[in-house]
Amino acid sequence: MLAESGEECKHPRNLTSMTDQEIKPFVGKPARVTLADGRILAGVLRASDDHGHGHTHYAVFSGAVREGEPPVRELIHGGDQITNIEDASGDPAASL
């Protein structure tokens, strides 16, 4: 992808955020999640709306970095931070 200046963008972004209804089918499943800042996370997507401040919190859980350590968790504050989700059920790196 080229920027307006003609330079290649290292992290092209789709700035359209997803709705909770679009995210819901992926909750509890292995997924590849693209964030608004261009990062891509892979792991099991979980959701919680019990925080009481107007948006659902999502978390992506991946396997431990080192054997014997707990899973890695990245907390996402609201669906507006998510721009794309892909099914990653065939990707062992996205499973716990």
For residues 43, 15, 38 and 27, what is the CA-based torsion angle, rounded to 10 degrees? -10
Domains and CATH numbers, the chain: 20-94 (2.30.30.100)
Q: How confident is the model at residue 2 (pLDDT cuts 50, 70, 90)?
A: very low
pLDDT at 3 over 60: no
Q: What is the phi/psi pair of residue 26, to 5°?
A: -95, -15
pLDDT at 48 over 90: no
This prediction's pTM: 0.78
pLDDT of 80:
92
Closest CA to 94 of 59, 45, 46, 48: 45
The set of residues, in sequence order, having a beta carbon less than 8 Å from that of 78 and lying 6+ positions away, is 55, 56, 57, 58
Q: How confident is the model at residue 65 (pLDDT cuts 50, 70, 90)?
A: confident
Tally of CB atoms within 10 A around 30: 23
pLDDT at 12 over 60: no
Strand partners, 34: 40, 84
